[in-house]
Amino acid sequence: MSTIQTIAENYQSFNPRAYLQNNYIPPRADFDNPGSVVPWKLRCLADACASGEIGGQLMVDIGTGPTVYQLLSAFELFKEVVLTDYLEVNREEIRKWLRGEAGTFDWGPYIKHVCNIEGKGEPWEEKQNRLRARVSKVIPVDIHQPCPLGKELGPGSIDTLVSSFCLEACSPDYGAFKKALGNITRLLKPGGHFLMIGALEESFYLAGEAKLSVVSLTEEMTKKALCDAGYKIRDFRAYVMPQSMRTDVDDTKGIFFAWAQKETK
């Protein structure tokens, strides 16, 4: 039986480079295969951001990890973007990429793909430079704390939240998952938007030496948690993980995308 504490201990051996190799290269990141996982995720985010309803001053990504793909459409709609993670190794991996340091993961193919989706035909390097300039800080987060971002950002201070594969990947059970969802929702302004991506029916994943337990979610459990947390679901999509995308790095059966809006009660 895992607890918030045992999960936190397991994350101490999380290896960002191994994690990126496990999830962000083919077959899961195959831009020539429209059925691949990453193009599906990027399409969901681009469609929500093309609605014209999302935008404003501040966007915060919860549990960024060592990845930026989840930001590529949404960041354009905000004056300021703040990234967060529980682990210093991930925050440092992201800072190195923001500084354009050699040896960091090449997100070029992702940025090029989103430029194609957006159809502006601009050179992808320009978008990469804009993103690097838009991120104001990379700060610690613990979703299990009543104030997940500490004193940095308090209740009702954020226009839009983004979070990909975080809440279920560090919660020991459904109760803790819902409590953590409540903690981050408090940070959002009434009427604010939440763009969430997560795993369906996953119980574990590997990141180098680290084996992390995951709370197994169904679509119904996810929708109920969002509604109970005070959201109106604007769009909900699910992706069934094809056999060709199932590897031994996790036992994920599918992925969900949710565009939710915090009620203005």
CB 75 within 8 A of CB 134: yes
- 172 part of the interface to ligand U87, by CB under 6 A: no
- 257 part of the interface to ligand U87, by CB under 6 A: no
Q: State in angstroms the smallest separation of the CB of 164 from ligand U87.
A: 3
- 128 part of the interface to ligand U87, by CB under 6 A: no
Q: Specify the residue for token string 């989103």.
A: 114
* Segment interacting with ligand U87, rule: CB under 6 A, options 109-117, 128-136, 153-161, 197-205: 197-205
Neighbours of 146 (CB within 10 A): 9
Tokens describing residue 77: 């709609």
- 141 part of the interface to ligand U87, by CB under 6 A: yes
- 70 part of the interface to ligand U87, by CB under 6 A: yes
Q: State in angstroms the smallest separation of the CB of 264 from ligand U87.
A: 27
Neighbours of 132 (CB within 10 A): 13
* Segment interacting with ligand U87, rule: CB under 6 A, options 99-107, 141-149, 216-224, 226-234: 141-149
| C-alpha distances in Å from residue 215, one per residue of 144, 221, 252 | 14, 11, 11
Tell me which of 91, 113, 127, 144 binds ligand U87, using CB under 6 A.
Answer: 144
- Return the residue nearest ligand U87 (CB atom): 65
Nearer to ligand U87, 64 or 222 (CB): 64
- 177 part of the interface to ligand U87, by CB under 6 A: no
- 94 part of the interface to ligand U87, by CB under 6 A: no
- For the chain, the straight-line distance linking the first and the last C-alpha, in angstroms and rounded, comes to 38
Nearer to ligand U87, 4 or 77 (CB): 4
Contact residues: ligand U87, CB under 6 A: 11, 14, 23, 28, 37, 63-65, 67, 70, 85-87, 90, 141-144, 164-166, 169-170, 199, 202, 205, 250, 252, 255
